[in-house]
Amino acid sequence: MAETGAAPAPSTPSARSPLFRAEQFVWLTARVLEQRLFAYHFLNGGADPVETALDAYRNQDGGYGHALEPDLRGPVSQPLHTARALRVLDSIGRCGGQRVERVCRYLTSVSTADGALPAVHPSQRGYPAAPFVPIVDDPPSDLLATGPVVGLLHRNEVWHAWLFRATDFCWQAVEGMERSHPYEVQAAVAFLDAAPDRARAEAAAGRLGRLVREQRLAVLDPEHLDAWPVAPGYARGEHHFPHDYAPTPRSLARAWFTDDEMARSLDHLAAGQQDDGGWPVRWRQWAPAAALEARPAVTIDALHALRAHGRPIG
Q: Compute how many other C-beta atoms are within 10 angstroms of the C-beta atom of residue 232.
A: 6
Burial class (CB in 10 A: 0-12, 13-18, 19+), 155: middle
Q: What value does the mean pLDDT take over residues 106-127?
A: 97
Q: Model-level pTM greater than 0.95?
A: no
Q: Which of 146, 182, 181, 152 is nearest to 165 (CA)?
A: 146
Q: What value does the mean pLDDT take over residues 238-249?
A: 98
Q: Compute how many other C-beta atoms are within 10 angstroms of the C-beta atom of residue 186.
A: 21
pLDDT of residue 10: 52
Per-residue pLDDT at 14 exceeds 80: no
Q: What value does the mean pLDDT take over residues 39-67?
A: 98
DSSP string, 213-264: HHTT-S-S-GGGGGGSPPPTTSPTT----HHHH-SSTTSGGGGGS-HHHHHH
pLDDT of residue 13: 55
Residue 214: which residues within 8 A CB-CB, separation 6 or more? none
Percent of the chain at pLDDT > 90 equals: 95
Q: What value does the mean pLDDT take over residues 226-232?
A: 94
Name the band, by pLDDT with cuts 50, 70 and 90, for residue 16.
confident
Percent of the chain at pLDDT > 70 equals: 95
Q: Which amino acid is at 57?
A: Y
Q: What value does the mean pLDDT take over residues 152-158?
A: 97
Give the CA radius of gyration of the chain: 19
Mean pLDDT of the chain: 95
CA distance 241 to 262: 8
- Helical residues (DSSP H) of 156-217, grouped into ranges: 162-175, 182-192, 198-214
Name the band, by pLDDT with cuts 50, 70 and 90, for residue 1.
very low
- The tens digit of pLDDT for each residue in 67-113 reads 999 999 999 999 999 999 999 999 999 999 999 999 999 999 999 99
CA distance 77 to 84: 12
